[in-house]
Amino acid sequence: MSRGEDAVVSRRTVELFVSGLLSIVGIGLAISNWKLGASWAADGPQPGYFPFLLSTMLALASLYGVFDALRGRHGARGDAAFVKRDEFVRVLQVLVPTILFCLATEFLGIYVAGFLLIAGFMRYIGESRWISCVAVALVLMASLFWCFEIEFQVPMPKGPIEDRLGY
């Protein structure tokens, strides 16, 4: 078995983690809503009543999930990999650039950030030639700009470059 086939984490562990996290969230929200007033007033429920009920149910259902994962009835499927190493690398190859793209949007605006994401992604993941990366990204972002800013007038976050161009 090559290293790429190794499991990063097993399915059971992730099941446990997700159910456990949701139980904590459920309990936390239940407490927050209890403080807001979750009892039954004369004219029906108080504002916290529904969220309190929902978060308590969420906590209970997730605790059942914890129990279900621990019981290990799912056998081989539970021990199977949630994600294998080479799969995980490929997921990160999308996720990390996406996060960087969001960061860049805060400073450069969505059009420049989008251009960088598409061109960079095509170059480093898709291994296309530089010239086609830049051309495709430029055409795509320019047509989006035309579509949103000019044709339909739905403003998007813009940065210093659009500022210079007078938009």
Partner 1 sequence: MDGTAIDSLLHGFVVLLTFKNMLLMMVGIILGIFVGVLPGLGGPNGVALLLPLTFTMDPTGAIVLLSCIYWGALFGGAITSILFNIPGEAWSVATTFDGYPMAQQGRAGEALTAAFTASFFGALAAVLLITFLAPLVARFALRFGPPEFFAVYFLTFCSFVGMGKEARHKILISMLIGFLLAAVGMDTVGGSLRMTFGFSDLLRGFDFLVAVIGLFGLSEILLTMEEKLAFEGKQAKLDLKVVWRTWKSLPRYWATLIRSAIAGCWLGITPGGAIAASFMGYGLAKRFSRDPDSFGTGRIEGVLAPETAAHAAGTSALLPMLALGIPGSGTAAVLLGGLMIWGLQPGPLLFVEHADFVWGLIASMYLGNIAGLILVLATVPLFAAILRVPFPTIASSVIVLCAIGAYAVHGAVFDIWLMVLFGVVGYVFKKLNYPLAPLALALVLGDRAEDAFRQTMIASRGNLTVFWSNSLVGSITSLALLLLLWPVLSDIMKRLRKSGDGVPTGAASG
Is residue 153 close enough to count as binding partner 1 by CB under 8 A? Answer: yes
What does the block give as tokens for 110? 């969505």
- Residue count, binding to partner 1 (CB under 8 A): 66
| Sites for partner 1 among residues 131-150 (CB under 8 A) | 136, 140-141, 144, 147-148
* Contact between residue 6 and residue 85 where contact means Cβ atoms under 8 Å apart: yes
Q: Which of 112, 118, 111, 103 is nearest to 148 (CA)?
A: 111
Q: Which of 92, 90, 99 is nearest to 117 (CA)?
A: 99
What does the block give as tokens for 57? 């149910």
Whose Cβ is closer to partner 1: residue 78's or residue 164's? 78
| Sites for partner 1 among residues 58-97 (CB under 8 A) | 58, 61-62, 64-65, 68, 82-83, 87-88, 90-91, 93-95, 97
Q: Which of 67, 59, 71, 64 is nearest to 22 (CA)?
A: 59
- Cβ contacts of 50 within 8 Å, gap of 6 or more: none
- Please give the C-alpha separations between residue 161 and each of 112, 113, 140, 165, in angstroms, as whole numbers: 8, 11, 17, 7
Among 125, 135, 142, 161, binds partner 1 (CB under 8 A): 125
Whose Cβ is closer to partner 1: residue 44's or residue 166's? 44
Residue ranges binding partner 1 (CB under 8 A): 11, 14-15, 18, 22, 29, 32-33, 36, 40-48, 50-51, 54-55, 57-58, 61-62, 64-65, 68, 82-83, 87-88, 90-91, 93-95, 97-99, 101-102, 105-106, 110, 114, 117-118, 121-122, 125-126, 128, 136, 140-141, 144, 147-148, 152-157
